[in-house]
Amino acid sequence: MSLPMKMCLGCAGAAGVSGAGYLGYKLLPQKETFKSKYSLAVDGFLSNRAIIDKKLGILKEADSNPKNEDLKIAKQKKKDSRDEEARTAFEKGCKAIHEEPIDSQYLDDFKKYCSFNNGDKIASGKSLVSEKANFDNHWNSFNGKTLDGLQKGFVEIHKSKKDAADDSWKEKMLGECKRLSDEIFEGEIPNFKDYCTKNGG
């Protein structure tokens, strides 16, 4: 076999290995990120000044314990009343967290500071229920619901309810509404909208 022919075969072999490597890379499963899994919770988040300020207020609290370094900086800047610097660090940290894989150490940071939760998505003119009396007008509707028309947490409450809207029922409803309000937003939850919001701010 001539030298040029051998060289061409070598080129083809190298190209084949290279191509196989590329295809192998393309076929590797890409790690799911917070942004891809919870797209509704990050859509518009970083451009929402009111939400950013709200989350910075939560981050500023003494018991907050972010893992992301930029969020740590944002917390200190906020405590020092250097608000613009706090926002810059906060946005940088959240943007990075959005691209992290969902099995990373930043789930709490994402959930608490860098995403919309159900409570953030309550419609304008409404607010989260805050006391047991807020459920006085919801008993008949809730009592008449079938189990398949209820969110998981409300199903358990429905199963354990008595024959009237007693304090135990109201306490459980209040607790479930608070729990749901803090969960990452993944789309509207009808039961949350129906039972966990009230008129007014």
Average pLDDT over the chain, rounded to an integer: 90
Q: How confident is the model at residue 176 (pLDDT cuts 50, 70, 90)?
A: very high
Q: What is the pLDDT of residue 30?
A: 79
Strand ranges, E, within 62-200: 126-128, 197-199
Looking at residue 157, what DSSP letter applies?
A: H
Q: What is the 3-state secondary structure (H, E, C) of 22-50?
A: HHHHHHCCCCCEHHHHCHHHHCCHHHCHH
Q: What's this model's pTM, rounded to 2 decimal places?
A: 0.82
One-letter amino acid for residue 101 of the chain: P
Gap between the Cα atoms of 2 and 73, Å rounded = 67
Burial of 18 (0-12, 13-18, 19+ CB in 10 A): exposed
Q: What are the pLDDT digits (tens) for 67-98?
A: 999 999 999 999 999 999 999 999 999 999 99
Least-confidence region, from 33-37, 49-53, 144-148: 144-148
Q: How confident is the model at residue 13 (pLDDT cuts 50, 70, 90)?
A: low
| CA distances from residue 73 to 106, 108, 110 in whole angstroms, order as listed | 16, 17, 16
Angle at 125 between CA 190 and CA 174, to 5 degrees: 50
The yes-or-no verdict on residue 10 having pLDDT over 90 is: no
Q: How confident is the model at residue 2 (pLDDT cuts 50, 70, 90)?
A: low
No. of helices (H) and no. of strands (E), the chain: 11, 2
Q: How confident is the model at residue 200 (pLDDT cuts 50, 70, 90)?
A: confident
Gap between the Cα atoms of 26 and 123, Å rounded = 42
Q: What are the pLDDT digits (tens) for 103-126?
A: 999 999 999 999 999 999 999 999
| CA distances from residue 5 to 13, 14, 16, 19 in whole angstroms, order as listed | 12, 14, 16, 21
Q: How confident is the model at residue 190 (pLDDT cuts 50, 70, 90)?
A: very high
| CA distances from residue 94 to 21, 31, 110, 123, 134 in whole angstroms, order as listed | 34, 18, 7, 24, 35
Scan for tokens 């008949």, then name that residue: 140
